[in-house]
Amino acid sequence: MKNIIIIFLTVAISSLHISAQEFSHEFSVYGGAGLSTINYKLSSGDRSGGFGGNLGLGYTFFIKNVRVVETGILSHNQLGLHTGIGLGFYNATAYVNGKTFETPGFDNDTHLEEKYRIFVLHTTLSDYKEKQTMTLLNIPIMALFTVDRYYAMGGFKFGIPLGGKFQAKGATLTNAAHYTEIDNWAKEQSLSGYGAFNRDANGTMKFGVSTMLSLEGGMKFRLSNGLLLYTGVCFDYGLNNVLRSDDYLINYDTNAPADFSSNSVVSVDASKVKPMAIGVKLRLAMLNGKVISN
């Protein structure tokens, strides 16, 4: 009987485990690259996506249920809340050919009767190619779950615009004035800003705050005690329109008509503009934690 009790106690002690919770903090630096574009649709024209990337700093607070046994920690499942701050770079290109835009309400000579001086400016784009860039300060709020070497993240990113630009090199713009009251066209007076012009078009674009659905997943590797490498794929999709539209394509000044400038074709011809990105991502994380027994 005594031997049986000793054997029973030995088995019980060998299988004894202590439940605990581990609170971990991760500080990380990350970078990624891939298709990182400005998504929109023109009423008359095409768009192509562009490549970009992201970089930044992250912080994750983990709660991990663990089992401590004679051979060590068995459980590696973790649930965490991830946030941080980073930069996202987005690009796209618009192609327009044969599209005409109107800029109304001009008065070119106050000495004439009104019907002879009020006109609408018509601008036609030919073989027009315009590149847009956007930079966002991204703040993620995401849940992160790990199972052994695998991880998955999901949540939202909020993108604060830091800058937007457009550029069209050697753009061909053809201006013509239509005097609607007398149904007459003026097309050849270059000093008045009429006719075909070949020039560079560039300037700034105005964007609002973006809310993006954000997903990420992949594998993690322990490089050393407290140092981890996350490798995965990420996907961000803008949920709201971020464009601050312009009223007209051409900025025309009757006092200097030949020196007209233009706005982005996207800002006057696209109804919705959203950032979107899909690519690969690397994150180097430094881990520290504290174990509290239940």
Query: 43-99: per-residue pLDDT in tens?
Result: 888 999 999 999 999 999 988 765 555 545 444 568 899 999 999 999 999 999 989
Contact present, 164 and 131 (Cβ < 8 Å): no
Main-chain phi, psi angles of 117, to 5 degrees: -120, -15
Identify the pLDDT of residue 65. Answer: 60
Q: Which residue reads 């860039």 in tokens?
A: 133
User: How many CA within 13 A on the CB side of residue 217?
Assistant: 6
Average pLDDT over residues 262-286: 94
Task: Give tens-digit pLDDT for 116-129.
Answer: 678 888 999 989 99
Identify the pLDDT of residue 76. Answer: 58
Burial class from Cβ neighbours inside 10 Å (0-12, 13-18, 19+) for residue 36 reads: buried
* Structure tokens, 97: 């050919």
Identify the pLDDT of residue 291. Answer: 47
Identify the pLDDT of residue 161. Answer: 96
Q: Give 51's strand partners.
A: 35
Q: Does 216 have pLDDT greater than 90?
A: yes
Burial class from Cβ neighbours inside 10 Å (0-12, 13-18, 19+) for residue 126 reads: middle
* Structure tokens, 179: 């005097």
Q: Does 231 have pLDDT greater than 80?
A: yes
User: How many CA within 13 A on the CB side of residue 69?
Assistant: 11
Main-chain phi, psi angles of 45, to 5 degrees: 155, 180
Percent of the chain at pLDDT exceeding 70:
83
Q: Where are the beta strands (DSSP E) in 180-269?
A: 184-186, 195-204, 206-207, 210-224, 227-238, 243-244, 250-251, 261-262
The overall average pLDDT reported for the chain is: 84
The confidence band for 6, taking pLDDT boundaries of 50, 70 and 90, is very low
What kind and span of H or E run contains 266? helix 265-269
- Chain center to CA of 253: 35
Q: Does 151 have pLDDT greater than 50?
A: yes
Identify the pLDDT of residue 192. Answer: 78
Average pLDDT over residues 159-166: 96
Identify the residue with better confidence: 277 or 199: 277
Q: Does 12 have pLDDT greater than 60?
A: no
7 Cβ contact partners less than 8 Å away, ≥ 6 residues apart: none
Task: Give tens-digit pLDDT for 87-102.
Answer: 999 999 999 998 999 8
Identify the pLDDT of residue 292. Answer: 47
SS3 state of residue 182? coil
Count Cβ atoms below 10 Å from residue 137 Cβ, excluding itself.
15
Identify the pLDDT of residue 273. Answer: 95
* Structure tokens, 219: 């594998």
How long, in residues, is the chain? 294
Contact present, 50 and 89 (Cβ < 8 Å): no
Identify the pLDDT of residue 293. Answer: 45
Identify the pLDDT of residue 11. Answer: 38
Average pLDDT over residues 216-243: 94
